Amino acid sequence: MIRSFNTHNLRKQEELTKYWLFTPLQNNQPVSAPVKAAVPGCWQSIPGFERYDGEAVYETTFEAQGNVRILCKGVSHTAEVYVNKQLVAQHYNAYTAFSGVYANMPKGVHALQIKVSNRFSEVSALHVPNDYMTYGGISRGVIVQQVADTYIEWVHCTPHKQDNVWHLDVQVKLNNLTQQAQAVKADIMVCGINHTLQGQFAKGQGQLVLAGSFAVPSAATYTQDSPMLYLVETKLYCNNAPAPIDDLIERVGFREIKVQGNKLLLNGQEVKIKGFCRHEDHPQFACSLPFAAMNYDLDLMKDLGANAVRTSHYPNDELFLDLCDERGVLVWEENHARGLTEEQMRNPNFRKQCHDCIEEMITQHFNHPSIVIWGILNECASETEYGRQCYAEQFSQIKQLDTSRPTSFASCKFFNDICLDLPDIVSYNIYPEWYHNTPAAEYLAKLYNWVQTTQGVGKPFIISEIGAGAMYGYRSPAHVVWSEERQADILQSQVQAVLGFSACTGIFIWQFCDVAVSEEWAMIRPRTMNNKGIVDEYRRPKMAYYTVKQMFEKN
């Protein structure tokens, strides 16, 4: 299961969710016999490969003909995709999708190989040893599609209200494999309204974006309590032929998210965020959580009284975003970067890898109504001039791709940040009473007051991380550090401080569940895990679960 709804009625597609053959490689040569591996899945879930890092190849076959598009939703972290031994796609970064087309294939059974590496090296600026794991494997679904010579790459929908009626701005991106001149027509159907866009590919032109806007008077507003979703079905016609040659079904929610003064407004109403930061991590499934496990995480967050999730620190599996859409859970989604120093940001690949990640994240997740904030560069060098250039560059890239959502970044450069003028929302990761002893309420007020002396003045203010660690099951009448009691005490004080601070737009607790970390972090992370989860890695609630639940429910 790759999406929670059907995305094509016309275009033929097959999800390759099954056993593939997995072979570890060294210098491009097999080091052991192939084993059967579930795809999607990480190789850390294969017995015997729990600690494997390096290169591997996954192999399978598929049956298709014509123009075959291989769509990979996520491979961790570097991939080369071969069809019948011919390279059709290459990609860096575990957390965004990519595709490649092999044109004019004869009918038959074809070989598909995906070479994967999860190696840290100087060419990888974003996957570095970190406070979470970089697993290896085909962690998200793979789909084989048979596309026409001209096909739909994406459809972007932006809802907005005009004279009290919902409207949809639509952009349809088309690819033309033939490069011949073509007359094209896209028929868009939503809520019983039909809208047609027309255009023309010139000879040699491979890509074209059609754009239009229309009213959708019968659309009901998407709210957190009533997350109404509508399918947007686009059919593509070419050269005046009567039958469509391709289609794409997307899904939208009619809502507007805006910043006004120091408030975040959803459909004109102030939102107070009560959320969690969540890593895609599970002891059994690594970063490749199946549908039921993702849904269970949201069940728990709902039970906790949360209304939001931050996809720390990378774009998430789209199936999870589908579930957030359906359950009315607001999402802060961010590009992939955590805690990079100026030196790491000066890696020659850093800017390009960030650029690609942002472009792919926004292009691929554009239509999710749950996403209300685009974030970048968690805890990077926002106190330096060079860092500032990078933040500025990335925020301007975001605004070129999407003006409909506010932006932010999670800072830890207390009293030193020089980038607070750049985002729409100022956000800070703070750990009072855990990493230092200043009482939470005092620290929060001091930080907020300082922000008001900077160019971040008057903007919405979010606590994008706050929390404390505990080992599941470690109980202590003395409430010592790492006990469940101590974590619950600290969270009680932290959450109360933030929710009681009326100038604060909200809180994302660090973090939802305990997660594995790179071995390089083991000396400061007992169990080689970040233990600040409200639930442990198996999702068993710690004492703090009930503390937070009570506070989220009453505020």
Q: Are 89 and 81 in contact (CB under 8 A)?
A: yes
Please tell me whether residue 379 binds ligand ADA under the rule CB under 6 A: yes
Smallest gap from residue 296 Cβ to ligand ADA (A)? 22
Smallest gap from residue 427 Cβ to ligand ADA (A)? 11
Q: Which is nearer to ligand ADA, 186 or 337 (CB)?
A: 337
Angle (deg, nearest 10), helices 484-499 and 543-554:
20
Q: In the set 429, 494, 518, 547, which binds ligand ADA (CB under 6 A)?
A: 429
Reference 464, options 428, 431, 434, 517; nearest CA is 428
- For the chain, how big is the Rg over CA atoms in Å? 24
DSSP state of 219: P
Q: Which is nearer to ligand ADA, 253 or 533 (CB)?
A: 533
Smallest gap from residue 407 Cβ to ligand ADA (A)? 17
Compute how many residues bind ligand ADA; rule: CB under 6 A: 11
Q: Which is nearer to ligand ADA, 435 or 538 (CB)?
A: 435
Smallest gap from residue 412 Cβ to ligand ADA (A)? 6
Smallest gap from residue 517 Cβ to ligand ADA (A)? 8
Quote the CA–CA distance of 397 and 438 in Å, as a whole number.
Answer: 38
Q: Which is nearer to ligand ADA, 85 or 436 (CB)?
A: 436
Residue in the block written with tokens 């596309």: 147
As a three-state string, the secondary structure of 83-110 is ECCEEEEEEECCCCCEEEEEEEEEEEEE
Q: Output the six-digit token pair for 319.
A: 């199936």
Tell me the three state secondary structure of residue 66.
strand
Q: Which is nearer to ligand ADA, 323 or 517 (CB)?
A: 517
DSSP state of 221: B
In angstroms, the Cα distances linking 369 to 116, 227, 239, 491, 531 are 32, 9, 34, 30, 31
Q: Which is nearer to ligand ADA, 150 or 429 (CB)?
A: 429
DSSP string, 300-350: HHHHTT--EEE-TTSPPPHHHHHHHHHHT-EEEEE-S-BS--HHHHTSTTH
Please tell me whether residue 465 binds ligand ADA under the rule CB under 6 A: yes
Smallest gap from residue 218 Cβ to ligand ADA (A)? 43
Which 112-141 positions form the footprint of ligand ADA (CB under 6 A)?
131
Which 173-212 positions form the footprint of ligand ADA (CB under 6 A)?
none
x-or-dash pattern for ligand ADA, window 406-425, by CB under 6 A? ------x-------------
Distance of CA 205 to the CA centre of its chain: 31
Q: In the set 20, 254, 510, 552, which binds ligand ADA (CB under 6 A)?
A: 510
Which residue's CB comes closest to ligand ADA? 131
Quote the CA–CA distance of 306 and 325 in Å, as a whole number.
Answer: 14
Smallest gap from residue 520 Cβ to ligand ADA (A)? 13
Whether residue 511 has a cis bond before it, omega within 30° of 0: yes
DSSP string, 371-424: EEEEEE-BT-STTSHHHHHHHHHHHHHHHHH-SSS-EEEEE--TTT-S-TTSSS
Q: Are 275 and 505 in contact (CB under 8 A)?
A: no
Smallest gap from residue 532 Cβ to ligand ADA (A)? 5
Q: Which is nearer to ligand ADA, 279 or 405 (CB)?
A: 279
Q: Which is nearer to ligand ADA, 127 or 338 (CB)?
A: 338
Smallest gap from residue 169 Cβ to ligand ADA (A)? 34
Q: Which is nearer to ligand ADA, 459 or 532 (CB)?
A: 532
Which 31-60 positions form the footprint of ligand ADA (CB under 6 A)?
none
Q: Which is nearer to ligand ADA, 102 or 431 (CB)?
A: 431
Q: Which is nearer to ligand ADA, 274 or 338 (CB)?
A: 338
End-to-end CA distance of the chain: 36
Reference 232, options 200, 186, 270, 299; nearest CA is 186
Q: Are 398 and 358 in contact (CB under 8 A)?
A: yes
Q: In the set 423, 530, 541, 545, which binds ligand ADA (CB under 6 A)?
A: 530
Q: Which is nearer to ligand ADA, 197 or 466 (CB)?
A: 466
Smallest gap from residue 171 Cβ to ligand ADA (A)? 34
Burial class (CB in 10 A: 0-12, 13-18, 19+), 221: middle
Smallest gap from residue 434 Cβ to ligand ADA (A)? 8
Smallest gap from residue 378 Cβ to ligand ADA (A)? 5
Q: Output the six-digit token pair for 486.
A: 């101590």
Q: In the set 338, 405, 413, 539, which binds ligand ADA (CB under 6 A)?
A: 338
Please tell me whether residue 96 binds ligand ADA under the rule CB under 6 A: no
Q: Are 334 and 375 in contact (CB under 8 A)?
A: yes
Q: Which is nearer to ligand ADA, 350 or 414 (CB)?
A: 414
Smallest gap from residue 318 Cβ to ligand ADA (A)? 22
Q: In the set 316, 378, 494, 505, which binds ligand ADA (CB under 6 A)?
A: 378
* 322 phi, psi to nearest 5 deg: -60, -45
Site residues (vs ligand ADA, CB under 6 A): 131, 338-339, 378-379, 412, 429, 465, 510, 530, 532
